[in-house]
Amino acid sequence: MMKPPSKREALLLELLIAGRKGISQLDILSSNRFQPHQRRDRYCSWNLSSDISKLRREYGLSITRQTEAYKSNSGRVVTCKRYRIPDCASAQRIVNLINRLRRLRKAPLMECKRSSYLVSEFAGPEVMTNEK
């Protein structure tokens, strides 16, 4: 029996799928709000910044962050970090890491066509500042 994806693998895949838009803690919480445990391969965490820091430290990945302001229901302004993959080279490194994690759990690798498409989404100039 194949093991489910690790938290790291699921987070890396979420970052790839999000493309240039990236992900924030609010995105993660809202996507899991109504179906928290129906998709086991979805990333779910209460502390996205900590998980991103671990990926940066342990694997030397380049993931950019930017502070964004959101208006809450009560009218208060709340700040949140948005994390993005900065370029094609970083996206390719993430695909390679996902495949390495999949090999370890004896899961099929990402299809070449899908991974190529996801990496190509990061082609072109970066549109945000990098606050590492």
Q: How many domains does the chain have?
A: 1
| pLDDT tens-digit series, residues 30-82 | 765 444 444 445 566 778 999 999 999 999 999 999 999 988 889 999 899 99
CATH number, residue 60: 1.10.10
Establish if 132 belongs to a structural domain.
no
**Dist. CA 102–CA 36, nearest whole Å:** 23
For residue 35, give its domain range: 7-120
Establish if 103 belongs to a structural domain.
yes
**Concatenated DSSP letters of 106-122:** TPPPPPHHHHHHHHHTT
Indicate the pTM of the whole model.
0.81
| pLDDT tens-digit series, residues 74-121 | 999 989 999 999 999 999 999 999 999 999 999 999 999 999 999 999
DSSP 3: P
Residue 51: partners with Cβ closer than 8 Å, 6 or more residues away: 7, 8, 11, 45
